[in-house]
Structure 1
């Protein structure tokens, strides 16, 4: 938890309590359903929570926004972002049922009233539009954008985050070139100078 507090200090007591409850909750669930690799569970706050909050560090999400977390896995980046932005609505979707079961249990234990979930493939989401799609290392950028584009509301004000914001790592030159997108990239290591974030980026496509 210290690694999160090193970079963010203005949490309410409720948010502090929710963030500190994440470790025991995920430990307990991970023993039943493996949603986080065994070696990563000890570094949960750096590799999962702080990594997710890199999106909060580069994008201010105004109250009332509707955000889709595509391929949320164990709830990242959606759960940490939902704690960080309690006035924003998050819809966390994954095609693997047991992962969504964990996400639902975590959201309930934290009393996150701004989180809904669905056990679904992103292609099957119909009749819903979102202001923003977020995702973490789920698929190549061209696929993420192809899935996200039909789900994003059109005509967002220029100053408001819209489109897709994803967390990616490594050399992305070829992936970006194949996607046909012209994303804005932020090196996470510049925001959080921890060794783990050396080759990691926030990639935003409007």
Structure 2
């Protein structure tokens, strides 16, 4: 296993750490109230409740340290593969938690602005689409198709981890994490589109 492959995982974790610290710093009192008693992860991933996500980083650091130690002693096969898979699952869960907070906050801001799409973070969606419920349903279906394809690809790649040579496991894990990141953005966009559809189809009295 090459050292630069492990360094890639470290760099990805460092980037995630920066996002988590930014997330926690931007939490408003309202965010802290509605997230206070929420369990945001499956108990096998993180034992964490509340708005702050910083506590999850220590678990990921410990996982990565374990992978590094395995590499140093020449561990191969299922042991290393399972460690990489566990790290990837927790990494993705934390990324999704960040996206969920951001999407919920954006939904609240959208409501406060009268659901205007002009300041949306999704400027790549044509304005005519944003103002048409029918076109938004088509856009949502397109995103759903992308989501299904990415989920299927991730499952195939995770299954391939079991038979991937030890020297290539970290490289494959990096590819899985990158695809998880794209999947998270896709799901975030889907949530936003669903919110927009709900507002457009809301009865006006």
Q: Name the structure where helix makes up a greater proportion of residues.
A: 2
Q: Name the structure where strand makes up a greater proportion of residues.
A: 1
Specify which structure has the bigger relative contact order, considering alpha-carbon pairs within 8 angstroms and separated by 6 or more residues.
2
Q: TM-score, normalised by structure 2?
A: 0.25
Q: TM-score, normalised by structure 1?
A: 0.25
Report which of the two structures shows the higher radius of gyration computed on alpha carbons: 2
